[in-house]
Amino acid sequence: MTMNTKKELLRTCLERYLKADRRQKKPILDELQAHTKMHRKSLIRALRRLQMKDSGILSKKPGRKILYSPDVNLALKEIWEISRCLCAERLKPIIAEYVRILTRDKMWPHGDKATGLLLQMSLGTIKNRITGFSNYKRKSRNSTTKPGHLHYLIPIRTGPWDNPEPGYGEIDTVVHCGDSLAGNVAYTVNYTDIATGWSEQAAQLNKGQLRTLESIKTIKRRLPFSLKGLDPDTGSEFINWHLKDWCDENKIELTRSRPYHRNDNAHIEQKNYSSVRSFLGWRRIDTEKQVKLLNELYKILHLYLNFFQPTMKCISKERIGSRYIRRYDQPKTPYQRTLEHLKVKQQIQRELNRIYKSLNPLKLKQEIDKLLARI
Give the single-character DSSP code of 275. Answer: I
Position 291, amino acid: V
Give residue 295's pLDDT: 95
Q: Is 375 helix (H, G, I), strand (E, B) or coil?
A: coil
Give residue 60's pLDDT: 55
Give residue 93's pLDDT: 87
Q: Is 94 helix (H, G, I), strand (E, B) or coil?
A: helix
pLDDT in tens, the chain (375 residues): 788 888 888 888 888 888 888 888 889 888 888 888 889 898 888 888 888 877 655 555 566 677 888 888 888 988 888 877 878 888 888 888 888 888 888 889 998 998 999 999 898 898 888 887 765 444 444 333 444 467 778 888 877 788 899 999 999 999 999 888 888 899 999 999 999 999 999 999 988 999 999 999 999 999 999 999 999 988 889 989 999 999 999 999 999 888 777 777 888 888 998 899 989 999 999 999 999 999 999 999 999 999 988 888 888 888 888 888 988 888 889 999 999 999 999 999 999 999 999 989 888 989 999 999 999
Residues 6+ apart with CB under 8 A from 66: none
Give residue 4's pLDDT: 82
Q: State whether the Cα torsion 216-222-226-230 is positive or negative.
A: negative
Q: Is 24 helix (H, G, I), strand (E, B) or coil?
A: helix
pTM score, whole prediction? 0.60
Specify whether the CB–CB gap between 46 and 39 falls below 8 A: no
Specify whether the CB–CB gap between 42 and 91 falls below 8 A: no
Rounded distance, CA 132 to CA 360, Å?
A: 70
CATH of domain 153-374: 3.30.420.10
Give residue 223's pLDDT: 95
Give residue 146's pLDDT: 45
Encode burial over 33-53: b for 16+ CB neighbours within 10 A, e otherwise: eeebebeeeebeebbeebeee
Give residue 47's pLDDT: 87
Give residue 102's pLDDT: 86
Q: What are phi and psi of 156, to 5 degrees?
A: -90, 135
Kindly calculate the radius of gyration of the chain based on its CA atoms and give it in whole angstroms. Answer: 32
Give residue 149's pLDDT: 61
Rounded distance, CA 184 to CA 355, Å?
A: 36
Give the single-character DSSP code of 168. Answer: E
Written as one string, the DSSP assignment of 170-205 is: EEEEEEEBTT---S--EEEEEEEETTT--EEEEEEE
Q: Name the β-bridge partners of 320.
A: 323
Rounded distance, CA 115 to CA 95, Å?
A: 10
* 350 sits in which H/E element: helix 346-357
